Amino acid sequence: MLIGEYMQTVDAKFRVNIPSKFRTDLGQTFVVAKGINCISIYPKDEWIRFLESLKDMKKLRFFSAGSSECELDTQGRIVVPVSLREYIGLQKEIAVIGAFKHVEIWNRDKWSEYFDDDAYKAENIESIMEQEDFI
């Protein structure tokens, strides 16, 4: 299970540290792909399963072309591919978050904006959990 939030900095060589808690579930080699306002990172077997489920060749080409296999270096980092850096306009300050079955890399300001609405303020958490039948 990939959960948690880590504020990080991209280095001058566009390397991003993958938090150690995520590395076990992701494995040594995984897939980075275009996400919704972010870069998504999937365990290789999850990505293969997703691609195999696509019935439309145009969708298959879109997702295949927009993704790349990555491998951790000895420090637990990846180099973000140029196409994905350009896709989100990768900035120096980022948030690396767990999204249950995958990981996402967000520009930190976009991540903050994403939850900058009253529904996700601390006093409303109980209401959200009740709506989802969690409490």
Predicted confidence at residue 128, as pLDDT, reads 81
**Average pLDDT estimate for 57-62:** 96
Stretch 54-74: mean pLDDT: 96
109: number of Cβ within 10 Å: 12
Q: pLDDT digits over 107-128, tens only?
A: 999 999 998 876 677 777 888 8
Task: Please check the confidence at residue 131 and state whether its pLDDT lies above 90.
Answer: no
Q: How many CA atoms lie within 13 A of 74 on its CB side?
A: 0
Q: Give the CATH class of 5-131.
A: alpha beta
Which one has a higher pLDDT value, 68 or 130? 68
Mean pLDDT, the chain, integer: 94
Nearest alpha carbon to residue 67 among 102, 95, 36, 41? 41
Structure tokens given for 88: 């989100």
- Ranges 37-51, 58-72, 106-120: which has the least confidence: 106-120
Structural contact between residues 87 and 39, judged by C-beta atoms closer than 8 angstroms: yes
Confidence band (pLDDT; 50, 70, 90) for 16?
Answer: very high
Domain-wise residue ranges, the chain: 5-131
The confidence score (pLDDT) of residue 132 equals 86
Local confidence band at 73 (pLDDT 50, 70, 90 cut-offs):
very high
What number of CA atoms fall less than 13 Å from residue 130's CA on the CB side?
5
Which of 104, 75, 69, 110 is closest to 89 using CA atoms? 110
Banded pLDDT at 93 (limits 50, 70, 90):
very high
